[in-house]
Amino acid sequence: MQSHKSLWFPFLHKEKILLIFIVFILINISIYTTFQHSIFSYANYGVNYPNAGLEFFYYIYCIGVNPFFFILLMLLLPNLVSYDFLNIHQNHHAYMIETRINKKQYYLDIFKKNILMTFIVMLIIQGLMALIIHFFYLPIHFNTMNYPVDYYCTTQVLAHNELISFILFVMFTALGYSIVSSLVFSLQMMITNKYIYRCFGVIFGILLVLIPALIQGYLPIPEAAFLLQINNLVAIGMENVRVNPFGLSNLSLYFISALLYSLLSIICFQIFIKRRQIND
């Protein structure tokens, strides 16, 4: 038990906290910029629309409108655990741990810790975002409203009750980023340069947004391409430029995409372990 607890130590240090803090400051700059260039900054908007604060919270997640927020989070993902893991491996500092608890078990433990840390960090970031929006921009209320058809921003993304929808959205978004983070972790089998890997999350995230749109014309069922779009995991129901594929609900689309990404992550992780065992 003590040896497993000690696995946290290389990933919990002052530089990590500083990095998360800097990213959070940049996220706040992104929020301010988005607010100033949106309809939410109009005079008396918050007075006329009681759910304005909650609408703005969801609006930030729209990758097409505010890509900087998404880019910052994707920049953070490889630097939570994965980069340190790669750095420790290349410096041979993990040799004694790998020998003591078995290399495969060691990799599996760090893989799980990466998912857990990503989930916790994303929950904290989203919670702080909601508080900052509530106190400094527009108050967040949970008033169940009847929105007109095709309204530009609804707050009943995953459930009719505004509060339940908000809780589910925050939890599932954090889990979505955790699943993506696990895939980024597994792709160390291809990206071995630790300096390039630091920024790999941004490149990977942009590709996961663009590739489904580019390949849909080459598939027998074009709609199937959008099951792999990262928006389904990290911006649930926020991209309203097209209807959900196969008429799926936001929640159903999320679970299908989460399952596909999880399977892909597990496959890549198994390949990653085998390559390490062969080449090390």
Task: List the pLDDT tens digit at each of the 280 positions of the chain.
Answer: 444 555 666 677 788 889 999 999 999 999 999 999 999 999 888 888 888 999 999 999 999 888 999 999 999 999 999 998 888 878 866 666 666 777 788 889 899 999 999 999 999 999 999 999 999 999 999 987 777 666 656 788 898 899 999 999 999 999 999 999 999 999 998 888 989 999 999 999 999 999 988 998 888 998 999 999 999 999 998 876 578 888 899 999 999 999 999 999 999 999 999 988 777 6
- CA–CA distance, 198 with 279 (Å, rounded to integer): 22
Neighbours of 103 (CB within 10 A): 16
What is the four-CA torsion angle of 49, 51, 56, 61, rounded to 10 degrees?
A: -140
DSSP 8-state secondary structure symbol assigned to residue 227: G
- CA–CA distance, 157 with 160 (Å, rounded to integer): 8
Report CA-CA distances (Å) from 237 to 18, 78, 130, 212, 232: 32, 25, 18, 17, 7
Residue pair 213/225 in contact (Cβ under 8 Å)? The answer is: yes
pLDDT the model gives residue 237: 87
With b for 16 or more beta-carbon neighbours within 10 A and e for fewer, the 24-39 pattern comes to bebbeebbeebbeebe
**For residue 126, what is the enclosing H or E element?**
helix 103-136
pLDDT the model gives residue 102: 77
Note the pTM of the prediction, 2 decimals: 0.93
pLDDT the model gives residue 1: 45
pLDDT the model gives residue 2: 46
Half-sphere CA count of 219, side-chain side, radius 13 A = 13
Q: What is the rounded radius of gyration, in angstroms, for the C-alpha atoms of the chain?
A: 20
Secondary structure of residue 204 in the 3-state scheme: helix
Report CA-CA distances (Å) from 163 to 120, 145, 214: 20, 12, 36
- CA–CA distance, 153 with 218 (Å, rounded to integer): 32
